Amino acid sequence: MSGIKIRGTGSRVPAKVTTNEDLSRMVDTSDEWITSRTGIKERHHCVAESHLDLCTGAAKAALEAAGVDPAEVGACVVCTVCADQFSPAAACLLQRELGLAEDTVCFDLNAACSGFLFGLHTMECLLSASPKRYGIVVGGEVLSRLTDFTDRSTCVLFGDAAGAVVVEFRPEWPSISAVLGVRGNDKVLGVTGVLAGGKPRIYMEGQPVFKFAVETVPKCIQAVLDKTGAAIDDVDQVVFHQANERIVDLVVKKFGVPTEKVHKNLSRYGNTSAASVPLVLDELCRDGRLGPGKKALCVGFGGGLTWAGALIGF
């Protein structure tokens, strides 16, 4: 025994909304194509907001919801592929913005769309060795900076957002029992680096990624159930990385998950990579479907290739 529970959640999205109609004026696409293939109707894009603004807003909201004093926070991990700068880490700047103590362990973590769950697992390990009980995990992305708005196969998919949680560690609580996986592959999904020359740019081969997701996600869910001894019936919500509605629907059907246990917000935010799982958690906490005593089985998958699942208590 020993593990973390979520004590508070928060999220921020930039003000500007880009609809499918807006994108149809930029590339050869249509609302019908995007909606039927992905479930996405609109997404938010940063204009004035920085990555740090989104992460700070989400983390402050999570601290407020948790009622935790920043001085009590022992570690802060920001999960992202696109902070404002390569260095300092976004988590270091968040230390300043949130007024965290100077002995807070702060760093960024890159596991793409699985990042938030890699971050939660890392946080559980960090707090098990910390004199302080609380930690902050943020998933924050400004993917519009990496999006090629002339490539119709990727530019319709992604949005900008940040989601954050404040967690509490107790020796007597069960672990989140994270299951993490990696299959190194830079062919089917990634972001070109500046070292390769030119502007960073998201690239993706949609069908191999789709196949990877529908094979891996059920195995990952099953691995979490096996590790914890839980059944889907014991879980209040199953929270999926919001990559594509068709992927979520296929997995839900395979496990026979009741629809009231699955929340999808893709239509409003698109795929926000590391922000997508905490964004869903925040919506579920704010409408009362998650909260004290409840459990969420969360699953992420994406670039790396990576995947991650965990059973998270509140």
User: Could you list the residues that contact ligand ACO (CB under 6 A)?
Assistant: 29, 33-34, 37-38, 113, 152-153, 156-157, 189, 204, 206-207, 209-210, 213, 243-244, 271, 301-302
- With beta carbons less than 8 A apart as the criterion, state whether 213 and 242 touch: no
Shortest Å, Cβ 68 to ligand ACO: 30
- Which one of the listed residues 46, 55, 79, 113 is annotated catalytic? 113
- With beta carbons less than 8 A apart as the criterion, state whether 65 and 282 touch: no
Angle between helices 276-286 and 115-128 (to 10 degrees): 80
Shortest Å, Cβ 188 to ligand ACO: 9
- With beta carbons less than 8 A apart as the criterion, state whether 76 and 203 touch: no
Which residues are within 8 A (CB) of 231 and not within 5 positions of it... i.e. 6 or more apart? 225
**Dihedral of the alpha carbons of 85, 129, 2, 222, in degrees to the nearest 10:** 40
Indicate the residue among 157 and 161 with the shorter CB distance to ligand ACO.
157
- Which one of the listed residues 82, 241, 285, 298 is annotated catalytic? 241
Shortest Å, Cβ 308 to ligand ACO: 12
Indicate the residue among 35 and 173 with the shorter CB distance to ligand ACO.
35
Indicate the residue among 18 and 38 with the shorter CB distance to ligand ACO.
38
Shortest Å, Cβ 153 to ligand ACO: 4
Let me know if 271 is a catalytic residue. Answer: yes
- Which one of the listed residues 244, 271, 285, 298 is annotated catalytic? 271
Indicate the residue among 92 and 204 with the shorter CB distance to ligand ACO.
204
DSSP state for residue 271 in the 8-state scheme: B
Structural element, H or E, at residue 116: helix 115-128
Residue 244 CA to residue 63 CA, distance in Å, equals: 30
Let me know if 265 is a catalytic residue. Answer: no
Let me know if 113 is a catalytic residue. Answer: yes
Structural element, H or E, at residue 18: strand 16-19
Residues identified as active-site: 113, 241, 271
